[in-house]
Chain A
Amino acid sequence: MTKPMIQVGNEVRQMTDAEYAQFVIDQETARLNAEQSANFESLRQAAKSKLESLGLTDDELKALGVFHSVIGANGQ
């Protein structure tokens, strides 16, 4: 199996088995993080819809500091 290429110094080579094992772990971790972020975004949109259904406008939400400049991408 051809493994992903990496560069160390001027040497370009395939990942070793150990490096590839770590790469696979990293991929899975990233997938789980993305899933968590998607869930957060879903909750965020649901909360925003509830507030909007109460009559609050985007500008009013921004004035409250909600959904603007407080919560960024990935809920961070």
Chain B
Amino acid sequence: MTFPVFASGDVLNASDMNAVGLWLLVDGTFTTVTSFAPANNTFTSNYENYRIMVNISALTSDADFTLRLRASGTDDANANYNSMFMGIDSGGTTRNRTGGSATSFNVGESDATFANRYQLVLDICKPRLTARTEIVGGYVFIDKAATYNAATSGGGFYNADTQFDSFSFISSVASSITGTYQVYGYRS
């Protein structure tokens, strides 16, 4: 067969399957929760780096969003999270989102009315290794006051050599977020 175009009835042998670079690990939904986390051991030794996508479709009240890394079913809330997201709105004004030695990554905010404009796309690098975990990516959103729409790009790192097996996406408002998420593994 001719990779990457497969025909109906083709046999997928090992070399074909091993050439697949990005593998969907989890495709989930969440409804009016404060936070969601993929199951424990979503990050495994099978993959070193991961891509996550989060789409908010509804929000009960204006909220800030944060992200924490998890291990063995518990969020890590140590003050080791550094966020460096450079943002800009459609009028050209800077809308950065940052945080140093914080207890979570800063992944933006959303106005409740325009919640379905929030989209996060983030790579999480080597969370399973006993090493720094870096995040690289960005997100788009409409601010809580609904005064501008903005996009950010950048990243951050967890400033300690810690192993993680999942993450939590957290709203500042209790039982507020509805949406979908995906986690992909990058084949090394």
Contacts and interface: CB of A to CB of B under 8 A. Distances in A.
B58 to A, nearest CB: 14
Contacts of B97: 76
Contacts of A7: 30, 33, 35-37
A interface secondary structure, majority: mixed
B33 A12 contact: yes
Interface of A: 4-10, 12, 15, 19, 22-23, 25-27, 29-30, 68-73, 76
Contacts of A71: 94
B24 to A, nearest CB: 16
17 contacts: A4-B175, A7-B33, A9-B28, A9-B40, A19-B75, A23-B34, A25-B103, A26-B66, A26-B103, A29-B103, A30-B172, A68-B92, A69-B93, A72-B93, A73-B143, A76-B96, A76-B98
Interface of B: 28, 30-40, 64, 66, 73, 75, 77, 87-88, 92-98, 103-104, 143, 170, 172, 174-175
B101 to A, nearest CB: 12
Contacts of A25: 77, 103
B55 to A, nearest CB: 15
B34 A15 contact: yes
The 3 residue pairs across chains A and B that have the minimum distance between CB atoms: A9-B39, A4-B174, A72-B94
A26 B37 contact: no
A4 B31 CA distance: 12
B34 A6 contact: yes
Contact of A5 (B32, B87, B96): B32
Contact of B73 (A8, A22, A26): A8
Given A7-B30, A7-B37, A69 B143 contact: no
A22 B77 contact: yes
Contacts of B174: 4-5, 23
Nearest to B98: A76
